[in-house]
Structure 1
């Protein structure tokens, strides 16, 4: 396989996960030729699968280069996440998604924020608990590694000294995929934050009027949606309370969901926690690669908690 863009944060982590394996052969391009279309085309011709860790326009260029070679693609950019001709690479999202990824030529790796939001919202819309036009409010915090090399440098060089909110103008790049794959007919409200720490993510989705019965139904719908899944689980609220720690699952490919609320006011908050560089990026890409190649879905994901459970 070939990683196009392996010098970036996600690409480096994917390479580290795959380099330790003896069932995967990595196709390399001379660093001096990494932007040379001819060199990339040669690598694509040799590879069975390519993972793209590139800006959107560069990802589209690589997809075009790969067309004549028949190379299967996992794209970690936002370029194809709402393209109906691409399979969305969230295996646990819906019945049949795993099989669709296994058979796909083109898979769009989800974003970290959208993985959390879709995991929480979609089962409630599909189950009829909330309407497609509900416009839930989404907030959360991610480590600065989610912003790539430029943001990592900004924090680690001391240019930014604290956390910050962004996306308040409601134009976040993940909104289209959250809307489409969350089965929503209108974009939700979404104001995320970046914390002064490297990695880990916690996301909250607010439903102010569900009430105590709705709270119980929301948890039942989530449990039914992810029953038996290896990497996504619904846990008791106490596990992520009273403080939700975004770094709780760092180093794993796990996503934990929990339901919180106030029975007296009827306000309900759904919470998701994952490693933004694990299940939110490189771990998800490796999981999709394993599925596409018919290998053990957890190969190379180095998840001690999953191994202990098994």
Structure 2
């Protein structure tokens, strides 16, 4: 029998992209409910309990409700794309490339929390450097990022694309999270191995999909940009989802296009160093709906199916 997959919230932005990635697959059976019945709690509960893997593409409270529907069911495995469980130690964090052992943790887990898009880039840059002692745990980290507007879901997409709406957004770029309390901060701190939350400045650009995450650093005495690049390259060696752009190639760039990886489920990392070697700008390039959401969920599902 083929594994049964239920995408709870399949008609939202993340769910639709997961379905698109699985449209041609014949190795799984997709369970579904009509869009008109998406609020039918009894039907949702039935599909959740029938599934081998349930992928939750829901707001936090609805995800918690879905998990509650599965109380007493030890057979349905869960991938939650919300922020509800990301720093819960009972859940495996679904960033397989984060550590050497993380792939096996995900493969064997019943509960997997899909990472946030911004934290995927920030953790990918910071964690190997923290593990290598190149960045101190108490370093005053700043994370600056820009995302495609699809990360805001259907309402944001409509605000950007429908000029007839009263709330139509005409700005080419805007900053938000001005209270410095963004919901992604706990996972950045936890899995970035930081002693305190970073200052995080997220923004949205007038492009549908894509993302740039930057971590600018003043370097400790004795640490060079080349050491940062080497540490990242060594950490991500041997796999093709997260790649580190070689220093000479990176330094030759004049600009980075946030949409370069739109539609792809990979991520590129860059280290840019100042001429005096005292400063560096760490950059992650990804699709906010690819490795930052739907693509990561499918990668996690495949690990769980193989595990």
- Would you say same fold, with TM above 0.5? yes
How many Å apart are 1:45 and its aligned residue? 2.0
Q: Is residue 41 from structure 1 mapped to residue 45 from structure 2 by the alignment?
A: yes
Report the counterpart of residue 26 of structure 1 in structure 2: 30
Report the counterpart of residue 221 of structure 1 in structure 2: 231
Equivalent residues of 1:202, 1:271 under 8 A apart:
yes
Aligned-residue Cα RMSD (Å) equals: 1.5
How many Å apart are 1:29 and its aligned residue? 1.6
Q: Is residue 172 from structure 1 mapped to residue 176 from structure 2 by the alignment?
A: no
1:92 to 94, 97, 102: 97
Equivalent residues of 1:129, 1:214 under 8 A apart:
no
For residues 179-198 of structure 1, the aligned pairs below 5 Å read 179-198=189-208
Q: What secondary structure does 1:114 align onto? A: helix
For 2:211 and 2:276, the matched residues in 1 are separated by 29
Q: What secondary structure does 1:73 align onto? A: strand
How many Å apart are 1:69 and its aligned residue? 2.8
Greater CA drift, 91-100 or 149-158: 149-158
For residues 1-310 of structure 1, the aligned pairs below 5 Å read 1-70=5-74, 71-158=76-163, 159-162=168-171, 163-210=173-220, 213-237=223-247, 238-239=249-250, 241-264=253-276, 266-294=278-306
Taking a change above 3 Å as real, the CA distance of residues 19 and 211 of structure 1, as seen in their structure-2 partners, is same
Structure 1 segments of 4 or more deviating over 4 A?
210-213
For 1:274 and 1:211, the matched residues in 2 are separated by 31
TM-score, with length taken from structure 2: 0.93
Equivalent residues of 1:210, 1:268 under 8 A apart:
no
How many Å apart are 1:30 and its aligned residue? 3.1
TM-score, with length taken from structure 1: 0.92
How many Å apart are 1:251 and its aligned residue? 1.5
Q: What secondary structure does 1:64 align onto? A: helix
Aligned length: 295
How many Å apart are 1:212 and its aligned residue? 8.2
Tell me, which stretches of 5 or more residues in structure 2 are unaligned?
Answer: none
For 1:291 and 1:73, the matched residues in 2 are separated by 13
Equivalent residues of 1:51, 1:74 under 8 A apart:
yes
How many Å apart are 1:211 and its aligned residue? 6.9
How many Å apart are 1:122 and its aligned residue? 0.5
Tell me, which stretches of 5 or more residues in structure 1 are unaligned?
Answer: 296-310
Equivalent residues of 1:212, 1:266 under 8 A apart:
no
How many Å apart are 1:242 and its aligned residue? 1.5
